[in-house]
Structure 1
Amino acid sequence: MSLVNEEHIQIGKKHLSKIKEMFDFRKNVAQETFDTQPLHMRRTICFHAGLSRRHLEMKFAELTPTERHQVVAALNSLLGLTESLPKFISDDDCKINIKH
């Protein structure tokens, strides 16, 4: 049973945002991640964020605040996906395991 609920998460996010505002040298992880991705990965992020093809060539700073929130949500969702995946999947797994 989790003792953390959505309200606690939102309060934590607000506190983290305030702390980040206090530092001028802070790094924007979402911006760096989005801006440095190759085209095929940016296509995945934009698709998952519900953005259109025109966003593929844009920098994070060129997105509207709403679009940036969509990108952050997509990145967080994709992080959750990657945590559930194995570290390596062999080409041998292309074969069907009928005993599974």
Structure 2
Amino acid sequence: MLDNISNKQNSLRRIRELKQLFPQTKNITQQAYNALTPRLKRLICFHAGLQQRHVVMEYEELLVNERKAVIRAMSEIQAMGTLLPSRMMLTDSCIE
């Protein structure tokens, strides 16, 4: 029993040491999503098939499957952005 406790304490100590060596930082997707305006979050959540309540949530509050849906939606919107013309004007809507 004492051996198990000692092993556990050694393991926890080693984990603390490793955490100090590799400080945890936010991931890029988390930083990008949390910085979005509510309007853009609404667009991402809609495209990801999430509900209105997700718009007010931070990335870290989402469930894993919701995060994956957000990542897919952001990737698809990013890919779509490369296909759009670099310059659009409101007059483009007029037929001449």
TM-score (norm 1): 0.69
Q: State the superposition RMSD in angstroms.
A: 1.5
The amino acid across from 2:75 in the alignment is N
Q: What percent of counterpart residues are identical?
A: 33
Structure 1 equivalent of residue 94 of structure 2: 95
Structure 2 equivalent of residue 72 of structure 1: 71
Structure 1 equivalent of residue 13 of structure 2: none
The amino acid across from 1:77 in the alignment is E
Equivalent residue of 1:33, what SS?
helix
Question: CA offset at residue 36 of structure 1?
Answer: 0.8
Structure 1 equivalent of residue 55 of structure 2: 56
Corresponding pairs, count: 75
Structure 2 equivalent of residue 46 of structure 1: 45
Distance 1:86 1:24, change over 3 A: farther
Structure 1 equivalent of residue 29 of structure 2: 30
**Unaligned 5+ residue runs, structure 1?**
1-22
Query: Which has the larger Rg?
Result: 2
**Unaligned 5+ residue runs, structure 2?**
1-21
